[in-house]
Homo-oligomer: A and B are copies of this chain.
Amino acid sequence: MTSTSILLVNCPDRKGLVAAIANFLVRYNANILHADQHQDAESGTFLMRVEWDSRQFDLPPDAFESAFAPLAQSFNMTWQLSHRNIKPRMAIFVSRYDHCLADLLYRYQAGELHCEIPVIISNHPDTEWLANCYKIPFLYIPVERDSKAEAEAAQLETLRNLHIDFIVLARYMQVLSPDFIRHYPNRIINIHHSFLPAFHGAKPYHRAYERGVKLIGATSHYVTEILDDGPIIEQDVVRISHRDDLDDLIRRGADLEKIVLSRAVRLHIEHRVLLYANKTVVFD
């Protein structure tokens, strides 16, 4: 599993795309392990994920771009190549609720998440003990109403220094500025504690309880400048009843949040998420 390469392709749909890409790979002796593609008929978009064994592949990683460029240009492709043995570097942002953090750390330690976690950044010191358990550096950067810009500057510097590839907001209770978001476009993953688009914004469990819904949900999405509006990666729901009071909703929702977020993170790490038209195609 660790020595495979993954190519993600997004381009206008045209005849011969599958054959052209397969031929390119075969020319360099690729043993294709998985290949998924999707044609969105409405927008005329072609999306593909192909994964091959890189040990017997005759094209070295640094020669791929120039070799693939002519084909990519002729089909007007947006593309991205990744290698499973290069682990992406993930930063976790957290506030006081620690259930998502604990879940991610356990999965990381258990080998379920093929990534590095160079840092946990929090605006509260509460979760440092968990970081210590799992031996992950913990950085406490307070965020006050009038110091948000400085805090974000400090966060960004840390992320740069540690060569962070993407950020996971594990119930981080601060709204990131548009400027911050622009540094990591489609590389910040959030968990929202409702079945979006229902109950976007603040206090979704309170509003779900008040509305009397029979299921509560959680949604993991990429962060964009519009709150709770980015492309959805994963969602799920759980049934509730009148026997569940607001505290039960929060407790049962927490279970959902950690499962939905960890699934989304895993899908992102394995390069299974393609973006188009403010939504995602997930090749699981």
Contact = CB atoms under 8 A, between A and B. Distances in A.
Interface of A: 15-19, 22-23, 25-26, 29-42, 98-99, 102-103, 106, 110, 112, 133, 195-199, 210-215, 217, 231-232, 234-237, 241-243, 245-246, 251, 255, 259, 277-282, 284
Nearest to A244: B284
A19 B17 CA distance: 11
Contacts of A246: 42
Contacts of A215: 195, 217, 235-237
A251 B102 contact: no
A85 B142 CA distance: 37
Given A23-B19, A32-B18, A133-B133, A243 B38 contact: yes
Given A32-B18, A35-B18, A198-B197, A235 B213 contact: yes
A17 B32 CA distance: 9
Contacts of A26: 15-16, 19
B15 A29 contact: yes
Contact of A232 (B15, B38, B213): B213
Contact of A278 (B16, B42, B212, B231): B212
Contacts of A98: 110
Given A29-B15, A195-B195, A38 B214 contact: no
Contacts of A34: 39
Contacts of A212: 231-232, 277-280
Given A196-B198, A214-B235, A215-B236, 13 more contacts: A15-B30, A19-B19, A19-B22, A19-B23, A19-B26, A23-B23, A41-B245, A42-B246, A196-B213, A212-B278, A212-B280, A213-B235, A243-B284
B214 A197 contact: no
Given A102-B106, A197-B198, A281-B242, A35 B33 contact: no
Contacts of A33: 39
Nearest to A279: B212
Contacts of A18: 18, 22, 32, 35
The 3 closest A-B CB pairs, nearest first, are: A212-B279, A19-B22, A198-B198
A144 B192 CA distance: 44
Contacts of A19: 19, 22-23, 25-26
A34 B41 CA distance: 11
Given A32-B18, A195-B195, A232 B211 contact: yes
Contacts of A32: 15, 17-18
A175 to B, nearest CB: 21
Contacts of A243: 38, 284
A195 to B, nearest CB: 6
